[in-house]
């Protein structure tokens, strides 16, 4: 029996620029920790080899120290690692791979397949047919040569590719880097290890996407895992999905209509843990007291979770009379609040003007809050005493 760990899309060097710098650094660091976890899993499961099906690096321009750190992270498994370049780290004439080789960073047990030619290994006894990407986008099927490739009789035939199986993924996803459906059967492959789709997904009996080992986006696609693949002579592969990720990425959406809706969102935010990365999309309407409490809850969640992104662009502020009385916004200021409230609800004003009015109302309310000593500014951050 041949036992393989199939992984892909490590995206080492990903920057996570949408988050605060501290959170972004930890999310980037988690990708190295995921590789260390893969090496540990490979050793504990006594696999015969590890296949990495492209996008090891997120860009060609990662720092030299990143190259060294990545290959150091793989040291926990001393067996063979076989890698192919993907679209983010394509095998250009001068690439991240040639630089890694020039730096002497690549260990002897790591094989990087930079050309589309059979790789025959003695231990384990297997023939690998790699389809490395040599540019970011291609419109030809780089696996087409698999069918005509001769390999020693009796050896398992394993394909490796990075791209989109035609007719499986959404049309906008599989427009470039195509892979023909049914390639495993047509090329007499025992297993076809794919990368590019960031979630674990079975294509057919012998073809799988492994997904990224550490989730990196807000999409419910079974990411944060690797595949343990067992091959017996001639039979279909047995594939086990093994969790490998540290962080849980989740999208939270709500439409606010009544005060209880605000309480429900605040309770959800309070339930976030250190392993959570959350994206919050809120629309509807909210009074100033609810808005103040919501902003405070978002800031508190940011102190607990690894990252919280909040989009309140669709939220309309609807101050109550109690809100206005609490702000002591009488006279001219009260008139301004009334005008801004009307402007954000006026359909004739247009979406941009309504957004400007809402932001101005939030800013004014925050300034009045601060003056009154409530301690929460319009952006939800603690005000100075």
What pLDDT, on the 0 to 100 scale, is given for residue 380?
40
252/220 same-domain check: no
**Containing structural domain, residue 110:** 2-243
254 Cβ contact list (under 8 Å, min separation 6): 261, 264, 265, 281, 282, 283, 284
What are residue 284's DSSP bridge partners? 256, 315
Residue 12, domain member (yes or no): yes
Q: Identify the CA nearest to 272 among candidates 248, 307, 301.
A: 301
Same domain, 163 and 290: no
User: Two tokens at 92?
Assistant: 């250009």
Cα 70 from chain centroid (whole Å)? 18
Q: Indicate yes or no: pTM above 0.75.
A: yes
CA angle 225, 227, 229 (to 5 degrees): 170
In a domain, 385, yes or no: no
Residue 278, pLDDT score: 97
357 with 371, same domain: the answer is: yes
Domain boundary among 198, 228, 243: 243
> To which residue do tokens 């394509």 refer?
90
Q: Of 243, 260, 295, which one is at a domain's C-terminal end?
A: 243
The answer as to whether 364 is a domain residue is yes
Residues 214 and 86 occupy one common structural domain = yes
Domain shared by 236 and 357, yes or no: no
> Which is nearest to 211 in space by CA: 34, 366, 358?
34
Instruction: Return the CATH number at 32.
Output: 3.60.21.10
Q: Are 4 and 158 in contact (CB under 8 A)?
A: yes
Buried b (16+ CB within 10 A) or exposed e, 366-379: bebbeeeebebbbe
Q: pLDDT truncated to tens, each residue of the chain (385 aa)?
A: 999 999 999 999 999 999 999 999 999 999 999 999 999 999 999 999 999 999 999 999 999 999 999 999 999 999 999 999 999 999 999 999 999 999 999 999 999 999 999 999 999 999 999 999 999 999 999 999 999 999 999 999 999 999 999 988 665 555 689 999 999 999 999 999 999 999 999 999 999 999 999 999 998 789 999 999 999 987 899 999 999 999 999 999 999 999 899 999 999 999 999 999 999 999 999 888 898 899 999 999 999 999 999 999 888 887 776 766 666 555 666 677 777 777 777 777 677 777 777 777 776 666 666 655 544 444 443 332 2
Task: Tell me, yes or no, whether 343 and 276 share the same domain.
Answer: yes
What the block records as the tokens of 103 is 């730096």
Cβ-Cβ contacts under 8 Å for 153 (sequence gap 6 or more): none
Query: Cβ distance 42 to 262 under 8 Å?
Result: no
Question: 84 and 223 share a domain?
Answer: yes
pLDDT of residue 329: 56
Listed residues 200, 225, 243: the one ending a domain: 243
């Amino acid at each position: 029996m041949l036992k393989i760990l199939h992984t892909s899309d490590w995206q080492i060097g990903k920057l996570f620029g949408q988050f605060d710098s501290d959170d972004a650094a930890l999310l980037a660091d988690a990708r190295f920790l995921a590789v260390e976890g893969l090496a540990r899993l490979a050793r504990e499961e006594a696999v015969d080899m590890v296949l990495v099906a492209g996008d090891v690096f997120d860009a060609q321009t990662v720092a030299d120290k990143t190259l060294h750190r990545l290959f150091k992270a793989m040291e926990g498994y001393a067996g063979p690692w076989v890698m192919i370049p993907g679209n983010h780290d394509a095998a250009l004439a001068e690439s991240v791979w040639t630089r890694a080789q020039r730096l002497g960073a690549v260990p002897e047990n790591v094989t990087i397949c930079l050309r589309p030619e059979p790789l025959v290994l003695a231990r384990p006894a297997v023939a690998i047919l790699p389809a490395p990407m040599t540019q970011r986008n291609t419109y030809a099927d780089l696996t087409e040569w698999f069918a005509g490739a001769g390999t020693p009789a009796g050896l398992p035939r394993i394909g490796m590719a990075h791209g989109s199986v035609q007719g499986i993924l959404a049309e906008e996803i599989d427009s470039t880097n195509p892979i023909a459906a049914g390639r495993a059967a047509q090329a007499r492959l025992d297993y076809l290890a794919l990368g590019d789709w960031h979630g674990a997904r079975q294509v057919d009996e012998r073809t799988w996407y492994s997904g990224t080992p550490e989730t990196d986006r807000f999409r419910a696609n079974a990411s944060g895992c690797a595949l343990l693949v067992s091959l017996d002579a001639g039979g279909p592969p047995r594939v086990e999905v093994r969790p490998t990720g540290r962080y849980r990425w989740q999208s939270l959406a709500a439409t606010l209509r009544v005060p209880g809706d605000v309480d429900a969102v605040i309770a959800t935010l309070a339930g976030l843990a250190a392993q959570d990365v959350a994206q919050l999309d809120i629309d509807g309407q909210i009074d100033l007291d609810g808005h103040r409490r919501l902003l405070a809850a978002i800031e508190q969640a940011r102190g607990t979770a690894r990252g919280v992104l909040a989009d309140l662009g669709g939220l309309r502020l609807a101050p109550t009379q109690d809100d206005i009385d609490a702000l002591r916004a009488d006279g001219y200021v009260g008139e301004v609040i009334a005008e801004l409230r009307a402007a954000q609800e006026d359909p004739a004003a247009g979406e941009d003007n309504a957004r400007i009015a809402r932001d101005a109302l939030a800013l004014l309310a925050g300034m009045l809050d601060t003056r009154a000593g409530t301690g929460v500014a319009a952006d939800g951050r603690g005000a100075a005493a």
